[in-house]
Amino acid sequence: MKDDAFSKCHPLTNFLFFLGAIGFCAVIQHPIYLLLDAVGAGGYYLLLKGKKGWSLIAGLIPVFFLLSGINPLLNTYGATALFHVFGRPYTLEALLYGMVIAGMLVVMLLWFGCYSAVLTSDKFVCLFGGLIPSLSLLLVMILRMIPSLTRKAVQIADARKSVGKGTGASENKKGKVLGGMRILSALTDWALEGSIITADSMRARGYGCAKRSSFRIYRFALRDILLICLMVVFLLGTLLAGGTEASFTPELRIASPSWGLASYAAFLMLPLILHGIEVIQQRTSLARL
């Protein structure tokens, strides 16, 4: 992951931005606003992941078209029938609504990908450790367990393969099922043993005896105050300006966008703008040397 300027901000600033971006994406169904969401989320995801980010975006494109095309088969509402499938109308309104729903899903996945890259476990514990210490620790351990179990399962499978007990392509289904069950059994034993070791280690270090501290100290700077104020202003401008209404079934009604569109675009582009300012400052300082 690239170290961008927005990731260096206070965890509260990061959390409030993603809360606003994901929340407004779930509420606003206007196609133009959704397109802005896709540009903002996709641009920031590529900034964080670099060239590796294109693999997720390329995988989400067929998902978008698949979900868009399936919705008119299930939802026949709409006044404009394009054609008929098994006697059921395939309407334009249902197709557009399916594109909006699929777009919302794609944008949500991109924003959550950015969220997981920026709001790391230490930031999450720093943000919520004082309010909900047990729950925050539990969530961090659960999120850490998923990739850890995946890596360990691959290691166990490779170890079995190295001693001649791997499941090859020529083996029948029964052998593959038995091999998978043995890997699952070993993985469960490893997870249970690791949880006992972790619990003993935490008890020995005095977990729960005093107030939690963070591995890294995050300071709430003037930049964070300015960013939070800008986020509030941009989101309030989007709400007060209106023009975000959109209805697809049974009739197509999409409101004309107002000046709130520029306010919403400025909010979504804050991480990219902040990174651009930092890059310009770095190049300017290097040019003066």
| DSSP-assigned letter for residue 255 | P
Same domain, 190 and 274: no
Task: Write down the H helix ranges in 129-259.
Answer: 133-162, 173-204, 222-241
Residue written as token pair 């509402």: 77
Per-residue pLDDT of the chain in tens (289 residues, 90 and over written 9): 567 889 989 889 999 999 999 999 999 989 999 999 999 999 999 999 988 889 889 999 999 999 999 988 888 887 788 888 888 888 888 889 999 999 999 999 999 999 988 988 778 777 766 666 666 566 666 666 777 778 888 888 888 888 777 665 556 777 777 888 888 888 888 888 887 887 788 778 776 666 655 556 778 889 999 999 999 999 999 999 888 888 887 778 888 888 889 999 999 999 999 999 988 888 888 887 6
Same domain, 178 and 110: no
Contact 72, 95 (CB under 8 A): yes
- What does the CA dihedral 22, 223, 6, 220 come to, rounded to 10 degrees? -80
Q: How many domains does the chain have?
A: 2
Same domain, 27 and 54: yes
| DSSP-assigned letter for residue 50 | G
- Whether residue 211 is contained in a domain is answered as no
- Whether residue 215 is contained in a domain is answered as no
β-strands 246-247, 253-254 pairing? antiparallel
Contact 218, 126 (CB under 8 A): yes
Over residues 7-27, the pLDDT tens digits come to 989 889 999 999 999 999 999
Cis before 250 (ω within 30)? yes
SS3 of residue 187 by DSSP: helix
Contact 268, 36 (CB under 8 A): yes
Same domain, 116 and 142: no
Over residues 26-77, the pLDDT tens digits come to 999 899 999 999 999 999 999 999 888 898 899 999 999 999 999 888 888 8
Helices and strands (H, E) in the chain, number of each type: 10, 4
Which residues constitute the domain of residue 149?
131-204
